[in-house]
Structure 1
Amino acid sequence: MGAGRLIAVLVTALLAGCAPATAVAGGSSGPPSARRAPEGSYAVGVRTLTLDPRSTRPLPVTIWYPAATDGVAAGRFPVVIYSHGLGSRPALHAGLTTRWAAAGFVVAAPAFPHTRQGAAHFTRADVRNQPADCWRLIRHLGRLDRDPADPLAGHLDLTAIAAAGHSAGGFTTSGMFSEGHPARLRSGIVIAGGGLPGSFAGPAAPVLFVHGTADPVVPVTVGRAAYGRTPGPAVFLSLLGQDHGAYLTPGHPGFAPVLAATTDFLRWTLYGDQAAGARLPADARAADLTTYESRPAR
């Protein structure tokens, strides 16, 4: 499919109407807690579950979390909702998501019913329903956090949530920042995606854009247009001459700056780690490989 056709499909899909965000369980919507962001790294645990398995829209989910020898590591951890692209699945993004978990975040990645790899009834138009799937997942995480029988109980900080995603998952991420979204959705990471009319409304939140300048699927101009529209602080990390996402592969020359920048962006926006925010320009810059720019809230 050509780039123009893909963008048209995604724009049409999300404009057709994302379900409105609803409040989630897990405390107030005030500023991030003042606790220190973890130093060093954790072992990483993984579990899978399926939301509403008997419904017309079951949602398989992979969760990566900071682990200890006896289960989940001690403490409460901010939550990142990660959305895959068309024809993809959560496991294909584990190179990035497991490293975020090791840095002290719980990362929950849904496998969307009609856009995931191997979907029985694949349809791009279903992207319009994916922001609502993400909010459904957040509500479910709230139930797990309150369930004394669940291993994640007491470990999820649902007052500090970020949304992130690649390609169609980036559009899904943008769609979560619609009018009326809870302030506890504190930040977003849009990788090789863009924004749409109706996105980036409601409480202003920092957004990090990551985009290859030679992306043949979602042109970098789409990401830059969204960057220009976001009302909160925004950062744009360009991967010079790079395509639609090879830089998400560990070992690729672009992976190190992407990992460093996204991890410190999450530390800054979810833990309130000002030193991590100050490191962002250095994290993102790699000679002849990246460019970095930022702007304050409007």
Structure 2
Amino acid sequence: MSIVVVAALSACTPDSEEPGATPTSASAAAAASGAPQQNLEVQTREIEFNRDGTRPLPTKVWLPAGGGPYPLIYFSHGLTSQPDDYADLLNAWAQAGFVVAAPRYPNTWNQAADFNADDVVNQPADAQFVITEVLKALPAEIDPNRIAAAGHSAGAITTVGLLTSSRDERLKAGVLLAGRQMPQPAPFSGTPIPLLFIQGKQDTTVTYEQAYGAYNEVTWPKAFMEIPQGTHLPHRDQPAVVATTTTDFWRWSLYGDEAAKARLPQDASATGAAALTGTL
């Protein structure tokens, strides 16, 4: 299997800290965790993967500049979508100190030559393959002991697959945007990891009942962010709230930043458009 780096480009500039500012106890705790204290510059790369020579999986990677290795977040897109449709969210994660890898699935992305929604059942195996290959391709940039998975809609269903029938024990945390169980449900299994569900209550594609049903089946540390006026695209309905809440979830679950964990309820309710419940 060959790996080809197609492109690299610079995006975003880091935020600056106030000169002479005295660190708060929260920022000191975050620094002790190793979590970056300001936004980082981000570059992107396109890497070509192909599983079994029959499933092309071109993967876009968002890379924070310098100072790695960083945790890896593997992201799965929804039906008739592609990684760039989530660029704002994925870039926000990378700015916060996470490598983000997001493939285009061969039969469910928006320009698939042979579109087939049922092919989602094959995507957990694709995901395991891409995670393995990204680790090989970027050994200096990624910490192999800090890997998480996230996804939207069919991508969230793919993520559930990685936590049930296709359990990937490398995963340390997960985020599911508009997610539900796989078409043939299996119990959540393996080592417990924290999960964050994000759901719009007005979603008619993956209903609130389906999402909450999957959430109820999880016996691990978990939280559920409900957006009462949210649709099937919570990351577009409330982009700042979703980005801030998920970033702090990652900072806690992958960096051990306890201050970030403490901020989660406030992150979710900051604009009054969402609320967080759970037992993290």
| Partner of residue 12, structure 1 | none
| Partner of residue 23, structure 1 | none
Deviations 1:120-151 (A, max 9, x none): 0000110001011110011102212xxxxxxx
| Partner of residue 293, structure 1 | 277
Check the 8 A contact 1:181/1:203 in 2, yes or no.
no
Q: Using the alignment, how far apart are the partners of 1:41 and 1:289 within structure 2?
A: 25
Choose 98-107 or 282-291, whichever is displaced more.
282-291
Aligned positions of 1:192-271 closer than 5 A: 192-196=178-182, 197-245=185-233, 247-249=234-236, 252=237, 254-271=238-255
Check the 8 A contact 2:187/2:217 in 1, yes or no.
no
Q: What's the secondary structure of 1:161's corresponding residue?
A: strand
Q: What's the secondary structure of 2:253's corresponding residue?
A: helix
Q: Deviation of residue 258 (structure 1)?
A: 0.8
Which residue identity is paired with 2:40? Answer: Y
Which residue identity is paired with 1:284? Answer: A
Check the 8 A contact 2:180/2:211 in 1, yes or no.
yes
Which residue identity is paired with 1:48? Answer: E
Q: How large is the RMSD of aligned CA atoms in angstroms?
A: 1.7
Q: Using the alignment, how far apart are the partners of 1:76 and 1:99 within structure 2?
A: 18
- Match for residue 275 of structure 1 among 259, 262, 265: 259
Q: Using the alignment, how far apart are the partners of 1:179 and 1:86 within structure 2?
A: 21
Check the 8 A contact 1:78/1:160 in 2, yes or no.
yes
Deviations 1:40-94 (A, max 9, x none): 0111100001112881111110000102xxxxx1221000000000000001110
Structure 1 segments (4+ residues) deviating >4 Å: none
Q: Using the alignment, how far apart are the partners of 1:59 and 1:263 within structure 2?
A: 26
Check the 8 A contact 2:162/2:168 in 1, yes or no.
no
Number of equivalenced pairs: 247
| Partner of residue 14, structure 1 | none
> Given the superposition, is the C-alpha separation of residues 125 and 241 from structure 1 closer, same or farther in structure 2, using an over 3 Å criterion?
same
| Partner of residue 150, structure 2 | 164
Q: Which has the higher contact order (CA 8 A, sep 6+)?
A: 1
| Partner of residue 76, structure 1 | 69
> Given the superposition, is the C-alpha separation of residues 104 and 287 from structure 1 closer, same or farther in structure 2, using an over 3 Å criterion?
closer
Q: Runs of 5+ in structure 2 lacking a partner?
A: 1-31
> Given the superposition, is the C-alpha separation of residues 75 and 93 from structure 1 closer, same or farther in structure 2, using an over 3 Å criterion?
same
Q: What's the secondary structure of 2:80's corresponding residue?
A: coil
Share of identical aligned residues, percent? 40
| Partner of residue 103, structure 1 | 96
Q: What's the secondary structure of 1:62's corresponding residue?
A: strand
Q: Runs of 5+ in structure 1 lacking a partner?
A: 1-33, 68-72, 145-151
Q: Deviation of residue 255 (structure 1)?
A: 1.4
Q: What's the secondary structure of 1:203's corresponding residue?
A: coil
Q: Using the alignment, how far apart are the partners of 2:97 and 2:278 within structure 1?
A: 25
- Match for residue 175 of structure 2 among 189, 212, 221: 189
> Given the superposition, is the C-alpha separation of residues 261 and 199 from structure 1 closer, same or farther in structure 2, using an over 3 Å criterion?
farther
Q: Using the alignment, how far apart are the partners of 1:268 and 1:84 within structure 2?
A: 24
Q: Using the alignment, how far apart are the partners of 1:218 and 1:181 within structure 2?
A: 22
| Partner of residue 11, structure 2 | none
- Match for residue 142 of structure 1 among 114, 135, 141: 135
Which residue identity is paired with 1:200? Answer: F
Q: Using the alignment, how far apart are the partners of 1:182 and 1:49 within structure 2?
A: 22
Q: Deviation of residue 260 (structure 1)?
A: 0.9
